[in-house]
Amino acid sequence: MPSTPLIETERLRLRAVTMADLDELVRLQADPLVTRFMGSPSREWLTRWLRSSDEEWEERGHGRLAIVEQEGASFLGRTGLKYWSQFEETEIGWALHAEARGQGYATEAARAVLDWAADRFDAPYFTAMIRPDNTASIAVAERLGMNPLRPDKLLGDPVTVYAITR
C-alpha cells in the first residue's frame, strides 16, 4: 500500500483503516443505528471491505480512514473517501460508535478529509449518499456545506446524494 496520510485535528487522528481495526469495525456495524442505515455486513464482508480500501489507496490515493481520539487513542468510527464507478463520483462517508455520537466528531473528521482531498484530487465535487430518513447524517452533511444534488439508489436503497463543490 502506498503511504497513507495521517490527518490530525484538535481532537482526532485519521489514519488508514487496517486489518487490526476489524474487530472495531465489526462492533461498529453491529450497532442497530448503523445497521438501520448501512446494513449488517458479515466479518468476511468487512475483511473484503478492508482489502478494497487498500486497493483504493493503491489505485486512487485515497480510501477509508479510522477516526481515533488524539488522547486515549480510542477507535471512534470511520470516515474517508470511496470512488463509486457507477456514478463516476467520490463519496465522503462517516459512521461512529454510539458513545462517540453527538460530540461533533463526524463533522470534524469529514471536514478534515474534505480539506485534505481538495488539495490533492481533481474532483469537481464530493458527495455523501444518505438515506432520506438518516437525519443525523443529513445534519452532518449540512454542517459541511453540502446540498442535495439528486435522489438516487445505492446498492438498491434510495438515497439523497448531497454534494459540495471544491
Q: Is residue 1 part of a domain?
A: no
Average pLDDT score over the chain: 92
Other residues' Cβ atoms within 10 Å of the Cβ of residue 55:
12
Spatial CA neighbour of 53 closest among 29, 76, 81, 30? 81
Residue 95 belongs to what domain range?
6-165
* Number of domains the chain contains: 1
Angle between helix 105-118 and 135-143 (nearest 10)? 50
Q: How confident is the model at residue 143 (pLDDT cuts 50, 70, 90)?
A: very high
CATH of the domain at 73: 3.40.630.30
The verdict on residue 16 lying in a domain is: yes
Answer whether residue 2 shows pLDDT above 60.
Answer: no
For residue 2, give the amino acid letter. P
Note the pLDDT tens digit of each residue in 124-134: 999 999 999 99
Cell of 133: 430518513
Q: Is this model's pTM higher than 0.95 or not?
A: no
Point out the least confidently predicted range of 13-17, 108-112, 154-158: 154-158
Q: Is residue 113 part of a domain?
A: yes
Instruction: With respect to residue 108, please indicate whether it lies within any of the assigned structural domains.
Output: yes
